[in-house]
């Protein structure tokens, strides 16, 4: 059982974005599960790298989408993305330098992330642009 689970209310109604959100949840769960085994530091570092890349690419997609449609809250949304990337970078660096991995902290941060960013910024994107599933 992973850390996060996809829920219908996470849907922003933009197929490409929803697809990537599901993929991110899977990746995060893999990082979280890997972290339970103490002798797989390399695997965790590798997964973190993949996670960071996937998240950056996802944010770039959303930001391109918002720019193309002249979304009114682009700056606020982009700032939140940057804050999230900073947090991931911090967790990654802590882990690489200290050898200690705080699973609880990772769980808390990632959970706060998805529940908040999905339900506020990403959901508003859906509402404001009036997109329909498909
Ligand atoms: Fe977003
Ligand atoms: Fe998103």
| Rounded average pLDDT over 61-82 | 92
31-69 confidence digits (pLDDT tens): 778 777 756 778 778 878 888 898 999 999 999 988 998
Q: How far is the CA of 38 from the centre of ligand 2 (A)?
A: 31
Q: How far is the CA of 124 from the centre of ligand 1 (A)?
A: 10
Q: How far is the CA of 60 from the centre of ligand 2 (A)?
A: 10
Query: Do 64 and 33 form a contact (C-beta atoms < 8 A)?
Result: no
- The pTM (predicted TM-score) of the whole model is 0.81
Between CA 31 and CA 88 the distance in angstroms is 12
DSSP 87-127: HHHHHHHHHHHHS---HHHHHHHHHHHIIIIIIIIIHHHHH
Closest CA to 50 of 24, 19, 76: 24
Which residues have CB under 8 Å from 60's CB, separation 6+?
none
The more confident residue out of 99 and 78 is 78
Task: Please report the pLDDT score of residue 131 as a whole number.
Answer: 53
């Amino acid at each position: 059982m992973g850390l996060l689970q996809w829920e219908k209310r996470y849907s922003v109604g933009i197929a490409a974005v929803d697809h990537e959100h599901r993929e991110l949840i899977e990746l995060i769960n893999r990082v979280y599960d890997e972290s339970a085994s103490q002798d797989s530091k390399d695997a965790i570092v590798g997964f973190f790298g993949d996670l960071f890349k996937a998240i950056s690419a996802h944010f770039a997609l959303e930001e391109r989408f918002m720019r193309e449609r002249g979304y009114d809250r682009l700056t606020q949304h982009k700032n939140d993305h940057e804050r999230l990337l900073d947090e991931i970078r911090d967790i990654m660096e802590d882990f690489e330098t200290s050898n200690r991995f705080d699973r609880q902290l990772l769980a808390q941060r990632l959970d706060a992330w998805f529940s908040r960013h999905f339900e506020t910024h990403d959901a508003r994107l859906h509402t404001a642009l009036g997109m329909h599933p498909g």
